[in-house]
Amino acid sequence: MATPANLEHVPVSLSPRDRFVEFLQSRGMRVTQQRLALVDQVFSRHEHFDADQLMEQLPESGKPGHVSRPTVYRTLSEFVDAGLLRKFMLNGRSVYEHDYGYPQHDHFHCTECNKLFEFQSPELIALRDQVARDHRFRVAGHRLIINGVCEACAKARRRASNHRMNMI
């Protein structure tokens, strides 16, 4: 599901780890090794992921650095509350992406291969802002996911269709 985009990073004053520690301390929550390991893992690369995919990246049960499934789910929710991740539903699954240090962007979702493709569109932002002005609405942000078929899947579909036609 991971498809990195060429989005420019937004300058931030704290690393994701430091921001999370600050969040935990501001709420009187413990800073644990498991939480720190998860923030480091999640921010070691930019990708869209679900909890199962994150679990696959972590050490197995009984090995050093293992994090339990309930801790993963709880900590992902804390990352969202801290403003580090955004959560959205995709095909009935909770999918996460980086929010902290990344600009406003939108997504194409290929319904064939299930990949997400990030994009930015100044024209879309201008249209959103104009519609908001017309309705006297103050925009805090938006999330747009456009479903369809990516170029690679469309080509594969055409090849398969041409192959079937040639067999007739």
Whether residue 110 is annotated as binding a ligand: the answer is yes
Q: Is 163 annotated as contributing to ligand binding?
A: no
What does the buried/exposed string (b/e) look like for 27-55 if buried means 16 or more CB atoms within 10 Å of the residue's CB? eeeeeeebbebbbebbbeebbbbbbeebe
What are the pLDDT tens digits along the chain (168 aa)?
444 456 777 889 999 999 999 999 999 999 999 999 999 999 998 899 999 999 999 988 888 888 999 999 999 999 999 999 999 999 889 999 999 998 889 999 999 999 999 999 999 999 999 999 999 999 998 989 999 999 999 999 888 877 666 766
Same structural domain, 93 and 135: no
Whether the Cβ atoms of residue 144 and residue 121 lie closer than 8 Å to each other = no
pLDDT value of position 162: 77
Same domain, 28 and 93: yes
Q: Which domain holds residue 138?
A: 103-168
Interatomic CA distance for residues 95 and 42, integer angstroms: 13
CA distances from 86 to 50, 60, 76, 77, 111 (A): 11, 26, 10, 10, 21
Question: What's the helix, strand, coil split of the chain in %, to 5?
Answer: 40, 15, 40
Contact of 50 with 89, CB cutoff 8 Å: no
Other C-beta atoms within 10 Å of 76: how many? 21
* Residue 106 annotated as binding site: yes
- 150 in a labelled binding site: yes
d(C-alpha 20, C-alpha 82), whole Å: 7
What's the chain's Rg over C-alpha atoms? 20
Task: Give domain status of residue 4, yes or no.
Answer: no
Indicate if 78 and 26 belong to the same structural domain. yes
40 is in an annotated binding site: no
pTM above 0.85, yes or no: no
Q: What is the structure's pLDDT at 159?
A: 86
Q: Which of 45, 76, 100 is the last residue of a domain?
A: 100
Q: Write phi, then psi, for 134 (nearest 5 degrees).
A: -60, -30
